Chains A and B, each alone.
Chain A
């Protein structure tokens, strides 16, 4: 009797650990998206600030722990590239989040979220059914 309850307990612990692992994973991804978005906004601010500068001279830029002095145009190109890269990474992180959430729901014995693996309608297509939404 005590043996069965012991195995039951260990099974329960195993199950809970699994849920916690998946949930932790989701939280990490969320954190990552937030950090990436913060970086994206800072990059956008930097691009804007550089565009506001009227004179065409060299500017200081901080890369990692180093300050570099470089052409304004070159700096903007680098920042734009960074921005696109960040955009892509956020998109990727969001796409990865969905199967993780579904896995957690599966472990928690909840129904799968319906329709979230659908492709979104384009804005033109949305117009044709807009009044229903």
Chain B
């Protein structure tokens, strides 16, 4: 019986341990040194030295807050690490700078217009830094003394003795404070903070000096050190919130719950104007700072001509974030028009962008990336297998090779091996077709598929 339950517990743990691994989960930063030179292999990034260095330079400018209304386009063939560079930039920026990442096709929805979706994405990428300041009294309770009137009714009075490591003092208590103290069940030995403005009492935990083995106490009792320094402290907290969050809270129809449900709907332009005015006023008074963040639009060729003209206009606003876009298209048709343009982006927008280009990885780099992915996915692979996989990656695509890692690992586990071998790679290579082999297969057996005559018609027309 006991063994059975133990097994069950293990089972549950097994389930919670499984985590999904994203395609770019191994990226920790751009992998640059202090002089902004790109290291060959660092922080999950491999190769693309020029592009990474360029991204690093832009990152420095963003950190200094020097550029606004600027756009960057990362262009390159599929599987050359465009998204990886954007992810690296996001990681390197840290949590203080807002970073929003959307895919070009995300803005097409029935619930809101394209421009609304873009506006929301823009406002999600602009931070407002504000400071909150509160006066608090923080100390360990030495003694609470409450005098009840003999008649049973009437106002109670009391005394509260608080101390820090430096000092000790007595506070006279009124009716209200006594009530909130009893409500919090604060007693001698507790560490409490009292908000001076509101009189709110918060219990932080029990003092370490009161920790005794024989005390009957709940498991959740927290022990904290007796506070140091002065009793009456000033607490300053700096927050960075995004304009979009302020928008959502202040658009009355939804209330703040909309922020968490994810479905915010359209926000009235009057609300936005009011908030812009308020933030501008705060900025004048020195109460707020604007933190221009980064908006990353992947697959930007999926935007249509209306979105591009919106972007043109939005980039000129004085509170615009840095816009980073990525595309894998060459000269192609601009969506929504009959005109073709480089990268599928109108020339007037392209003129406002600086372009970083990525180049295909060479064999050594592909091997290195596959190695990093093996580590990320917890897969042991023999050197020979890695060489074979690298060749596959060179001949097909890097993504296909990366996908084979997990599949090969499963095959290896099935034969109870500890290390993925050349045979495992061969087996999954024969099981899963890559794009070119699949195309070849289709061409060979076209006659046996359905609707193949339609395809021929289309080709001839």
**A interface, CB within 8 angstroms of B:** 30, 33-34, 36-38, 40-42, 44-45, 48, 52, 94, 114-116, 118-121, 123, 125-126, 128-129, 131-133
Contacts A38-B230, A118-B287 aside, 7 further interface pairs with beta carbons under 8 A come to A115-B238, A118-B288, A120-B133, A131-B249, A132-B239, A132-B246, A132-B249
Q: Bound state CA distance, A68 and B379, in angstroms?
A: 84
Q: A120-B287, A128-B250 are in contact. Are A114 and B169 (CB under 8 A)?
A: no
**When the two chains form their complex, are residues A119 and B246 in contact, meaning their CB atoms are under 8 A apart?**
no
What separation, in Å, do the CA atoms of A87 and B287 have in the docked complex?
A: 23
Answer whether residue B167 sits at the interface, using C-beta atoms and an 8 A cutoff. Answer: yes
Q: Which residues B209-248 have CB closer than 8 A to chain A?
A: 229-232, 234, 236-241, 245-246
Chain B count of residues within 8 A CB distance of the other chain: 36
B232 close to A37 (CB less than 8 A) = yes
CA distance A94 to B229 in the complex (A): 13
* Contact B238 A125, beta carbon cutoff 8 Å: no
- Expressed in whole angstroms, the Cα–Cα distance for A93 and B288 within the complex equals 24
B172 within 8 A of A: yes
Q: Give min CB distance, A29 to chain B, whole Å.
A: 12
B131 contacts which chain A residues (CB < 8 A)? Answer: 115-116, 118-121
- A48–B237 Cα distance when bound, in Å, is 32
In the assembled complex, which residues on chain A have CB atoms less than 8 Å from the CB atom of B172?
A: 48, 52
The CA-CA distance from A36 to B282 in the complex, in Å, is: 33
**Chain A, Cβ-Cβ closest to B285:** A119
How long is the Cα–Cα vector from A59 to B259 in the complex, in angstroms?
61
B286 interface residue per 8 A CB criterion: yes
Residues of B within 8 A of A40 (CB): 232
Q: Are A118 and B130 in contact (CB under 8 A)?
A: yes
Q: Do B249 and A34 touch (CB < 8 A)?
A: no
24 contacts between A and B (CB under 8 A): A33-B230, A34-B230, A37-B230, A41-B167, A41-B169, A42-B169, A45-B169, A45-B170, A52-B172, A94-B234, A115-B289, A116-B236, A116-B238, A118-B129, A118-B130, A118-B238, A120-B131, A120-B133, A121-B131, A121-B282, A126-B132, A131-B249, A132-B245, A133-B239
